[in-house]
Structure 1
Amino acid sequence: MVKPSYSSGFGGLGIAPGLLAAIGRLKFTEPTPIQRRSIPIGLEGKDLIGVAQTGTGKTLAFGIPMIQRLARLRGNGLVLLPTRELAVQVNEAIQAVGAQLGLRTAVLIGGAPEGPQKRAIEKKPRVIIATPGRLVDFLEQRVVNLANIQVLVLDEADRMLDMGFAPQINKILRVLPKDRQTMLFSATIPPEIVGLARQHMKLPINIEIAPSGTAAEKVVQEVFFIEKEAKTRLLQVLLAEYLGAVLVFTRTKHGARKLTRDVRAMGHAVAEIHSDRSLGQRREALEGFKTGKYRVLVATDIAARGIDVAGIELVVNYDLPTQTQDYVHRIGRTARAGMAGRAISFATFDQRSDIRDIEQLIHTGLSIKPVPALPHDKAPRKLPAFVIEKERAEKLRKPFGRPTKKITGRRARR
């Protein structure tokens, strides 16, 4: 019998041979930093808190330990996450590895018919992947029993709390067995996460791939200060300059609908995802964005949490996020898995404090770019006065050449 060729990168993490073979067949060769550090701890059954940005391989960081431990345990696994799209994508990733080992999953999400989800529960899945709202609904209907959960994952925990799911999460945690493993993953660690961990986790090991709030590596971050009515024309120029996949964030679903119409009028293939779109429409938009059917995807923050698409060249913050920490989640959609990417933000002149808040969060300054000539401009554009003053102040702080020593004593009198 020919032995499967295991990935040498994953081979030293304590992963079982059958699971290694499944990983190898999926062409995964080297674990990401969060995978390399989380998998061995997860396999030991210890609680852990992983701080890492989106696009760093978090799904397999918890998926591999969960699958392997459930193969030896009688209990089940539960993954809680913020959005329907993310639930579907996490399920696909876990199925890709676990289905070859006979792992059965069930996805419980709002916005989809309850019937098929209830039938999936009747088939006794080993792993439930759910959004908090739908899972609480099923608990209250006594459709699902969580008494046998041995491994719990809270994925994108900060976002779940941002979206107001704290009451549902606490209700779920109260009915789970105390003697379980909990793995929590988050891009930021606000005080609410600290409190949740203190109350519901057992001496968790902290794994911090990037400090909380750190932006994804290899993302070039820029900002244009521009009047609100000129944003669409600036986007038109950028879409002509950047020819790859572009993800555009708006603050509201109304703004997303309007901008989608504007981008379509420019001649670009564009789709939209926001709370007014059905689950089927969201899936079609995401799949079309992945395959290249749509070059531009316009999204709101809540809907965009499930976007896991490699090769996004540019992320545009058409509107700055309402919550500063959402900036990190947004720009993490580009430069995924070590690839390079660019994030451009549009800010109006009265949003300078918002930009400063973002810079404080990510511990770095954003490069302020001059607005190029736009269609229908009546006069050449100039940098805002406050930007010119900032640049002048920075130049004054920089010494020119080497500092000269003050010469004293005998040498001074020569």
Structure 2
Amino acid sequence: MSAKRRRAQRSPSPQYNLDDDSYEPYVPISQRRQEKLAKLSSLGVTAGRHKAKHIQEEQEEREDALKEEERRREKARKERTLLFEAQEVQKRKAAEDAKKTEGEKAEEVDQEILEAIKSRRKLISDLELAKGIQYTDPLRASWRPPRYIRERTLEEHEKLRDKYHILVEGEDVPPPIEHFEDMKIPDPILKHLKSNRIITPTPIQLQGIPAAFSGRDIIGIAFTGSGKTLAFCLPLIMLALEEEKKLPFVRGEGPVGVILCPSRELANQTFENVNTWCSALARDNKYPQLNSLLCMGGIAMNEQSHVLSKGIHIVVATPGRLIDMLEKKRFTFNNCKYLCMDEADRMIDLGFEDDVRNIISFFKRQRQTLLFSATMPRKIQDFAQESLIKPVLVNVGRAGAANLDVLQVVEYVKQEAKMVYLLECLQKTPPPVIIFSENKNEVDDIQEYLLLKGVEAVSIHGSKTQEERQFAIKAFKSGTKDVMVASGVASKGLDFNEIQHVIIFTMPKEIEDYVHQIGRTGRSGKTGIATTFVNMNTPDQTLLDLKYLLMEAGQKVPPFLASVDDPRAVLGGSLKGCPVCGGLGHSISNCPKLEETQRRQLAAHRNVEGGSY
């Protein structure tokens, strides 16, 4: 009974129609969960994107607002700077200037100019500059001073320098040596020097030659006629001799060193000296012949083809022709390790600096650099010390000071009376005599006047051909002509040993030129006279430079020159010399040399802009 009752109460079984299209297949629960999650996540991403876009738009609006506010502030700040702060600065500056003296103001202007011209590039090659090559140690040399000199104390070395009034600067300065024999110079050269009455070294040679033999970079300063040429030529000859004895040079090899000169006349004179000393060395069969080459404008290089067909040991050159030879690869500086610049202040300060830098770019190795001059102001010294490697500064007397062996006579002569008075001055001493004038036309006029008066005279200036210039110098040196009338081209370094009198017909503006011109006499320990004509056409600043130079040398100052007042004394400023040209009577702000340099630079720029460079 109970079993039947339970069957009656059971729910009927479901009926399935398998042919119905609406039938949905079974989906597992795990799959249904994944689909639900995917749906929810897609809805979240869409909402997130809308939200992120909304946030970004709000942020951009805030940034735009901030930028606009910053622009308003910047505009307001500029307006305040231009209108208010500039006035405040001027007021402060005016208040400070009111407290300063005129001299202090002038010194500040000078300092600003000096700082502006200090930003010159060092004398290094483009390769060294591009690769960041920096040499920290000087070249190593095989030469050593004798043992007894090496064993001297530093105090003994300094006592010897004081004896000859030699000032030195630098690290580990080589010792001074009083005798050529102790410098280990070959006997043939010693005999040649003695035959020319060169027995003992001059002060610049006494310290300069040992320093150069040691491989050191040198800045050599000494008055005109003090033997600087021997001081830089002899070390190069010894270096070339050492290289030749190691392994003889053949065609295409060399040079070992190069000497740069600012003028053709000085290059030719230096070349003749080098040839003379090399020939003296070769006369002794123990030593080989050293070949020298002269590179300068006005001469055909074919004339020296016999030298180019051999190995070259020494090159003496002017910058322009040397660059031409290097660019044509007539020889190379691949093994060159000695560079000397005679009249160095002129080489790197008056138009040759770019040429010198170009020449240095041909060097492929470290070099020994020597700079020599009679007038090298402090600005050039500082510039050179930055460009050289632990240089030794050898200074005999103040740079730019006049030779004390020259009696300086300054006379007031009216312009129209100069020619007549010139004949009177020629009676003071026997010939030969040099007459200097800054004007080329005036040089020719003086020569013509002297020839009409029966005086045997030649002239030399930059507009003459090389043949005319060489003939004039040769005739004057040989004694066939009594007087040479010259422009400034003959004042730099030319050696005329027998000259007792120099007449400066027109006083040069730059006191450096005056020092070089009077230095043509009183050479090699001899005395001489320098007569200078001045008049109303001579600028007061030039007269002031001349006045201080005479006072420094202990010379007589004529009354008309003594009456020239120094405006710096009135302003209350210091009476320091000019760091650009070394003149004692002016400051850098009115330096004629700086003005001339700026004039040349402006002229060069105009030529470049006009397409005529």
TM over 0.5: yes
Could you say what secondary structure the match of 1:42 adopts?
Answer: helix
Q: CA deviation at 1:364?
A: 4.4
Cα pair 1:55 1:336 within 8 Å, conserved: yes
Q: Percent identity?
A: 32
Match of 1:146 in 2: 333
| Matching residue of 1:200 | 387
Give 1 or 2: higher helix fraction.
Answer: 2
Size of the aligned set, in residue pairs, is 369
Please say if 1:344 is aligned against 2:531.
Answer: yes
Letter in 2 for 1:62: F
Q: Which has the higher contact order (CA 8 A, sep 6+)?
A: 1
The one-letter amino acid of 1:95's match is: N
Gaps of 5+ in 2: 1-177, 245-253, 283-288, 566-613
Structure 1, unpaired ranges of 5+: 1-7, 370-382, 391-414
- Tell me which residue corresponds to 2:440: 253
Name 1:268's counterpart in structure 2. Answer: 455
**Counterpart residue number, 2:310:** 123
Name the TM-score, length of structure 1 as normaliser.
0.82
Alignment partner, residue 95 of structure 1? 275
Partner of 1:357: 545
Corresponding residue of 2:556: 367
Contact 1:109 1:134 in 2 (8 A): yes
1:46 aligns with 2:220: no
Larger strand share, 1 or 2: 1
Moved over 6 A (4+): 386-390
Separation in 2 of the partners of 1:354 and 1:18?
Answer: 47
Task: Give the 3-state SS of the residue equivalent to 1:73 in structure 2.
Answer: helix
2:512 to 320, 325, 329: 325
Q: Is the alpha carbon distance of 1:27 and 1:218 closer, same or farther for their aligned partners in structure 2, counting shifts above 3 Å?
A: closer
User: For 1:284, which of 471, 477, 481 is the aligned residue?
Assistant: 471
Task: Say if 1:54 and 1:187, in contact at 8 Å, map to a contact too.
Answer: yes
User: Over aligned residue pairs, what C-alpha RMSD do you find?
Assistant: 2.4
Q: Contact 1:187 / 1:212 at 8 angstroms: preserved in 2?
A: yes
Q: 1:274 offset after TM fit, Å?
A: 0.7
The partner residue of 2:407 within 211, 220, 237 is: 220
User: If you compute each CA radius of gyration, which structure gives the higher value, 1 or 2?
Assistant: 2
Question: Does residue 68 of structure 1 match 2:238?
Answer: yes
TM-score by length of structure 2 reads 0.57
Q: 1:272 and 1:202, CA in 2 relative to 1: closer, same or farther beyond 3 A?
A: same
Which is worse superposed, 220-229 or 20-29? 20-29
Q: What does residue range 31-42 of structure 1 map to in structure 2 within 5 Å?
A: 31-42=201-212
* 1:136 aligned residue: 323
- After TM superposition, give the deviation of residue 388 of structure 1 in Å: 7.6
Please state how far the C-alpha of 1:119 moved relative to its aligned partner: 5.3
1:18-40 deviation digits (Å, cap 9, x = unpaired): 54344345553222221111111
Deviation string, structure 1 residues 313-354 (Cα, Å, up to 9, x no partner): 111110111322111111110000111101111111242331
CA shift in 2, pair 1:178/1:368, >3 Å: same
Measure, in 2, the Cα distance between the counterparts of 1:296 and 1:238. 12
Q: Is residue 2:174 matched to residue 1:174?
A: no
State the partner residue of 1:83: 263
Q: Contact 2:543/2:564 (CA < 8 Å) preserved in 1?
A: no
> Structure 1: how far apart are the matches of 2:563 and 2:402?
26
**Does the 8 Å CA contact 1:110/1:133 hold for their aligned counterparts?**
yes
Map 1:221-236 → 2, pairs under 5 A: 221-236=408-423
1:17 CA drift (Å): 4.0
| Cα distance in 2 for residues equivalent to 1:181 and 1:114 | 27
Of 199-208 and 19-28, the range deviating more from structure 2? 19-28
Q: Does the aligned pair in 1 maintain the 2:491–2:520 contact within 8 Å?
A: no
* Cα distance in 1, alignment partners of residues 563 and 332 from structure 2: 62
- Deviates most, 360-369 or 156-165: 360-369
Give CA deviations for 1:357-389 in whole Å, capped at 9, x if unaligned. Answer: 2344563476355xxxxxxxxxxxxx86x7689
Aligned amino acid, residue 353 of structure 1: Q
